[in-house]
Amino acid sequence: MSAAAKMWASTHNGTLAGKMSAVVDALHACQQAAPNGGKGYLSAFPAEFFDRFEAIQPVWAPYYTIHKIMQGLLDQYTVAGNSKALEMVVAMAGYFGDRVRSVIQRHTIERHWTSLNEETGGMNDVLYQLYAITNDQRHLVLAHLFDKPCFLGLLAAQADSLSGFHTNTHIPIVVGGQMRYEVTGDPLYKDIATFFLDVVNSSHTYATGGTSVSEFWYNPKRLAETLTTENEESCTTYNMLKVSRHLFRWTKEITYIDYYERALINGVLSIQRGRDPGVMIYMLPQGPGKSKAESYHGWGTKYDSFWCCYGTGIESFSKLGDSIYFEEKGSKPALYIVQYIPNTFNWKSAGLTVTQQVKPLSSSDQNLQVSLSISAKTNGQYATVNVRIPSWTSVNGAKATLNGKDLQLASPGSFLSVTKHWVSGDDLEIQLPINLRTEAIKDDRPAYAALQAVLFGPFLLAGLTTGDWDAKTGAAISDWITPVPSSYNSQLVTLTQESGGSTFVLSTTIATSLTMQPRPEGGGTDDAVHATFRLVPATTKEPSSAMIEPFGLPGMVITNGLTVSSEKGPGSLFNAVLGIDGQPGSVSLELGTRPGCFVLTAGAKVQVGCRSGSGGGEAGFLKAASFKRAEPLRRYHPISFAARGTRRGFLLEPLFTLRDEFYTVYFNLGA
């Protein structure tokens, strides 16, 4: 319901509005028909679950679900304007308020605190939001009873005692504490949230901006031994974005929105599994040679239900337009532009429309170029526009112009502020260099100092590899990482053969030899990576003479012995000639050092054979030595780099672009 409300707010789609209203009506009928009808209970499971919760008996997180229902209904009211949904939330708050009061009266407040060791989601958060609407003191009191003092108290004392706590149980409690500060002004809860995010960022966060291992916090600054498939539960990233958003609103400190950008790009966008609609992954693996598919395929085996994080994953994608702009209202309106996402914003209080255009990024042109075009409804408005200059950029090469005239650009980690009487046709242009850099894992032990991630501005670059992570670095990062030109895409090819009605592709194996494999269904897999090659022209004079570079092993080549090597020379040259089978569109690979000898197949085996020119097997030889030059199963992303490893090359691409390929996030730069 939350996701639908926010998606409707972005699109105003009439069909979606009708479906949302129908869901609320159906839930209202359920609430009225429940055994506790008229008292506010609403859930798909019986109220007896709460009897167990209150008795400290085993039951999985009934309040977690109740929070989802209440928050969904409240968003249907606040975002989509459904007043019936508000009535339902008020009734639910009344029902659960009576239950909590009864526990405290029949037992003790300690019993209630003990019950909160079970996951309760953001109950405090949604109840503080409700109080802000109703101004009903009962909602304020009930919200405070879900604040879990044994956790928030540690943060109030500024103790880094997160280790052992379940991450997604406790991040929403901090978000609720932030809402308490919003509605009561109690500064303690602002301090709690500030300390909390500082601790998570400094001690418990991966290069993606995410946190958690197997759903828990580990020892601070000991992340090197936590790299696995079970990193960064998607729900935790969703909730950490809320924490950072609140802190930015209160402080205008860019460090919080820099974090938001990193977590959004690498933590949220990366959980969408390719282009499969509505398919999100639960964990975001960080271990060497891991795959998102390992998280996806584990859903139905380790857990009974994944709708909890699946729901927040969908909601995350319904609010990608959130936190692009922040407005400071008053007699002198001000706008903060903090995310670089193409869009059009109707700045109503200033009577202006802001259109943001962003030039597509590439590894070859390492500048972010943003254009902000202004149009005014009347004669314009006197206002301030503040544009974030992120911490990841540099002064060298940065530029800002207003209507073609240079501006004094602010330093990274601050805002470029322009105050003027804005009129239609005003154009603010920003150019920000995006540099490659490495970032050490958060582990203060010297043995792990060389374990580092590679970032391109806010983009985490993952290396396509099944586990090798040793890199050969130079004095500068440009000594061992270089951009992949977009022109290389024209050199990519997948080589196929037909046999028995099936299509097979020439592929590399983990053992770096060649084989024939059934054609993969599409891209986004290691099979597609292994079946894609770059035909690198050896010279301009002989365009048919080429080296064969495996897609996922930049800088490596296939030798005449059909193995993969980093050594280039005559033994790595092939003549890509017209297929000797005479079929249109076919190609044959003749060894550069052995004219008349070709790459040919025998079933799954790939070998070298030399043409005899006669004999009954000639027709079979011609067929086995000819391949169809098909469209490549994989192409380079515009943001692609080649890195030099100790034993092999690595193709680096943004983590969010990968689907099921095996990848490595951290590299050992001490090799």
Query: Domain of 588: which CATH number?
Result: 2.80.10.50
Judge whether 100 lies within some domain. Answer: yes
Domain closes at, from 83, 106, 137? 137
For residues 618 and 664, the answer to whether their CB atoms sit within 8 Å is no
Q: Which are the contacts of 617, defined by CB distance < 8 A and separation ≥ 6? A: none
Tell me: do 494 and 624 sit in the same domain: yes
Same domain membership, residue 4 and residue 115: yes
Name the helix (H) or strand (E) containing 452. strand 451-456
Residue 237 lies inside a defined structural domain of this protein: no
Mode of pairing for the β-strands spanning 564-565 and 574-578 = unpaired
Q: Are 352 and 402 in contact (CB under 8 A)?
A: no
Q: What total number of domains does the chain contain? A: 3
Whether 574 has a pLDDT exceeding 60, the answer reads: yes
Residues 6 or more apart from 403 whose CB is under 8 A from it? Answer: 425, 426, 427
Mean pLDDT to the nearest integer, 299-309: 40
Q: What angle do CA 459, 461, 462 make, to 5 degrees?
A: 140
Same domain, 490 and 420: no
Q: What's the average model confidence in pLDDT over 386-399? A: 95
pLDDT tens-digit series, residues 92-119: 999 999 999 999 999 999 999 999 999 9
CB 189 within 8 A of CB 181: yes
Distance CA 35, CA 70 (A): 19
For the whole model, what pTM was predicted?
0.93
The answer to whether residue 187 is domain-embedded is no
Residues 510 and 617 in one domain: yes
59 vs 120: CA distance, rounded Å: 12
- From residue 648, alpha-carbon distances to 221, 468, 655 in Å are 30, 9, 20
Whole-number pLDDT of residue 314: 73
Nearest CA to 662 out of 651, 671, 648 is that of 651
Is position 653 within any domain?
Answer: no
Choosing from 137, 166, 191, the residue where a domain stops is 137
Q: How far apart are CA 142 and CA 100, in angstroms?
A: 8
401 in a structural domain: yes
Q: What percent of the chain clears pLDDT 90, i.e. is strictly above it?
A: 79
Residue 437, phi-psi category: left (phi > 0), alpha (psi -120 to 50), beta (remainder): beta
Mean pLDDT of 251-280: 89
Mean pLDDT, to the nearest integer, of 634-640? Answer: 96
Fill in the DSSP letter of residue 79. Answer: T
Give the per-residue pLDDT at 313.
67
Same domain? 414 vs 514: no
**Residues 76-81: contacts with CB under 8 Å, at least 24 apart:** 76/1, 76/4, 76/5, 76/20, 76/24, 77/133, 78/129, 78/133, 79/5, 79/6, 79/8, 79/9, 80/4, 80/5, 80/8, 80/9, 80/17, 80/20
Q: Are 428 and 493 in a shared domain? A: no
- Taking the C-alpha atoms of residue 298 and residue 281, their distance in angstroms, rounded to an integer, is 10
306 pLDDT higher than 60: no
The region, left, alpha or beta by phi > 0 then psi within -120 to 50, assigned to residue 150 is alpha
Give the per-residue pLDDT at 307: 38
**Cα angle: 408, vertex 409, 413; to 5 degrees:** 145
**Token pair 């805002």 in the structure block, residue:** 415
pLDDT band at 309; cut points 50, 70, 90: low
Whether 601 is in a domain gets the answer yes
Environment class of 87 (CB within 10 Å of its CB; exposed 0-12, middle 13-18, buried 19+): middle
What is the enclosing helix (H) or strand (E) of 653? Answer: strand 649-654
Residues 21-77: tens digit of each pLDDT: 999 999 999 999 887 656 899 999 999 999 999 999 999 999 999 999 999 999 999
Cβ-based neighbours of 336, under 8 Å, separated by 6 or more: 252, 325, 326, 327, 328, 386, 388, 415
Give the span between the Cα atoms of 403 and 390, in whole angstroms.
22
Cα separation of 434 and 426, whole Å?
26
Query: What pLDDT does 423 receive?
Result: 92
CATH number of 371's domain: 2.60.40
Residue in the block written with tokens 């809402």: 179
Parallel, antiparallel or unpaired: strands 334-337 and 381-389? parallel
Question: Do 493 and 600 belong together in one domain?
Answer: yes
Res 2 pLDDT > 50: yes
Rg (CA), the chain: 29
pLDDT of res. 36: 61
Kindly write down the DSSP assignment for every residue of 380-400, as one continuous string. -EEEEEEEEE-TTS-STT-EE
Amino acid at position 341, single letter: I
Q: Please name the helix (run of DSSP H) or strand (run of DSSP E) that holds residue 460, with its range, or none.
A: strand 459-464
Count CA atoms within 13 Å of residue 8 on its CB side: 21
Domain containing 374: what range? 326-358+367-433
Measuring CA to CA, how many Å separate 656 from each of 188, 404, 550, 573, 663? 37, 35, 22, 35, 12
Of 292-306, 316-330, 407-421, 543-557, which range is least confident?
A: 292-306
Evaluate whether 587 touches 599 at the Cβ level (below 8 Å): no
Are 287 and 469 spatial neighbours (Cβ–Cβ below 8 Å)?
no
Q: Are residues 385 and 508 in the same domain?
A: no
Residue 544 lies in a domain: yes
d(CA 561, CA 345): 60
Q: What is the pLDDT of residue 322?
A: 86
User: 401 and 497 in one domain?
Assistant: no
Q: pLDDT grade, residue 539 (50/70/90)?
A: confident
Looking at residue 185, what is its pLDDT?
97
Classify residue 447 as exposed, middle or buried by CB count within 10 Å of its CB (0-12, 13-18, 19+).
exposed
The mean-pLDDT minimum among 396-400, 500-504, 615-619 falls in 615-619
Q: What is the mean pLDDT of residues 204-231?
A: 95
Average pLDDT value for residue range 168-172: 95
Tokens standing for 510? Answer: 């983990």
CB atoms within 10 A of CB 474: 10
- Domain assignment present for residue 543? The answer is yes
| 112 and 13 part of one domain | yes
Burial class (CB in 10 A: 0-12, 13-18, 19+), 424: middle
Give yes or no: residues 491 and 622 share one domain.
yes
* Mean pLDDT to the nearest integer, 230-257: 95
**If pLDDT is split at 50, 70 and 90, which confidence band does 543 have?**
low
- Cα–Cα distances in angstroms (integers) from residue 280 to residues 40, 299, 313, 655, in the given order: 33, 11, 6, 14
CA 156 – CA 192 distance, rounded (Å): 5
Which positions ≥6 away from 35 have C-beta within 8 Å? Answer: 41, 47
Q: Does residue 12 register a pLDDT over 50?
A: yes
Q: What is the pLDDT of residues 640-668, one digit of tens each?
A: 999 999 889 999 999 999 999 999 999 99
CB 492 within 8 A of CB 534: yes
At CA 572, angle to CA 570 and CA 575, rounded to 5?
85
pLDDT recorded at residue 670: 81
419, 554: one domain: no
